[in-house]
Amino acid sequence: MITMKPIQLFPGVYKIGGALATRSLTPGFKVHGERLLEAGNAEYREWNPYQSKLAAGIACGLHALPIKEGSRVLYLGAAQGATASFVSDIVGEKGVVYCVEIAPRAVTDLIRVCEKRENMIPILADARKPSEYASEIEDGEVDVVFEDVADPQQAELLKSNARFLKKGAAAMLAVKARSVSSVEEPRKVFEKVKRELEEVFELVQEIDISSFEKDHEMLVLRKK
C-alpha cells in the first residue's frame, strides 16, 4: 500500500503520484491485480491506461466524463469486468453498471466481480440484440452507454443500443479500426464510423488513444 495525496481529475477519478485511480468501493478487493493506493482513510485502485480504453481516453485529454456518481451505465463488452469495475467505483452505491458480455467464460469471471460489487449487474448476451436484455434494464433507460466491443459493426451496435438513452444523453465508443477493416487506413475507418453514427448521435469529442491502444480512438457522443 502506497500513501500519497489524490488530485481529482473528474468526480470519482484521481491522479495519485502520477497514476490514474478511482476510490475503491470494495477496499481490500482487487479485480485484476491492480495496485492499491492509500490516501487519508480511503483506498484507491490504480487504473492503467494500457489496460483500459476508458482510462486511455482520460489520459489522452477527455474534456468531460459523462459517467458520474449515481449514473446508470450500460457497458457493452464488459469482458471479465476490469474497466467496468472502475466505472462501478465512479458511479458508487447510488449508480448501476449493466455489464453486457457475450463470452460465457468471461461472464464466469465477471459474476465473481459483480458478487463483490452490488452496483454491477452481469448480463450474458449479444449486444447486437438489445431486445434480449431490455427487460433487465430498470425503466428501460440509462444515462450513459459505453461500448468496447471488437465487432465490424461497432457503429450499428451502438446505434441499436441508443434506444436506452434519452435525447441529449451520452455515449462513449472505443473504436477499433482493425475490427472494422484490416486493410483500410485507420483514419478512413474512423471517418466512416463517425458518418454511420451521425444519424443518431452528435459528436462531442474525438480522442486519439493510439499511444495506449494501437489503431484505436475514443468517441464521446450525445444522442440527437
Ligand X SMILES: C[S@@+](CC[C@H](N)C(=O)[O-])C[C@H]1O[C@@H](n2cnc3c(N)ncnc32)[C@H](O)[C@@H]1O
Distance from C-alpha of 220 to C-alpha of 108, rounded to nearest angstrom: 30
102 vs 193, beta carbon nearer ligand X:
102
C-alpha cell at 133: 436484455
Indicate which single residue of 102, 121, 173, 177 sits in contact with ligand X (rule: CB under 6 A): 102
Angle at 119 between CA 53 and CA 68, to 5 degrees: 55
64 vs 150, beta carbon nearer ligand X:
150
C-alpha torsion 8→9→12→15, nearest 10: -70
Pick out residues in 147-186 that bind ligand X (CB under 6 A).
148-151
Applying CB under 6 A, does 101 fall inside the site for ligand X? yes
C-alpha cell at 161: 443500443
> Which residue is it, cell 477499433?
176
| Helix 104-116 / helix 82-91 crossing angle, nearest 10 deg | 30
Give me the least distance between CB of 150 and ligand X, in Å please. 5
37 vs 84, beta carbon nearer ligand X:
84
Q: How many residues sit in the footprint of ligand X (CB under 6 A)?
A: 18
Pick out residues in 52-91 that bind ligand X (CB under 6 A).
52, 76-77, 79, 82-83
What residues line the site for ligand X (CB under 6 A)? 52, 76-77, 79, 82-83, 100-103, 106, 126-128, 148-151
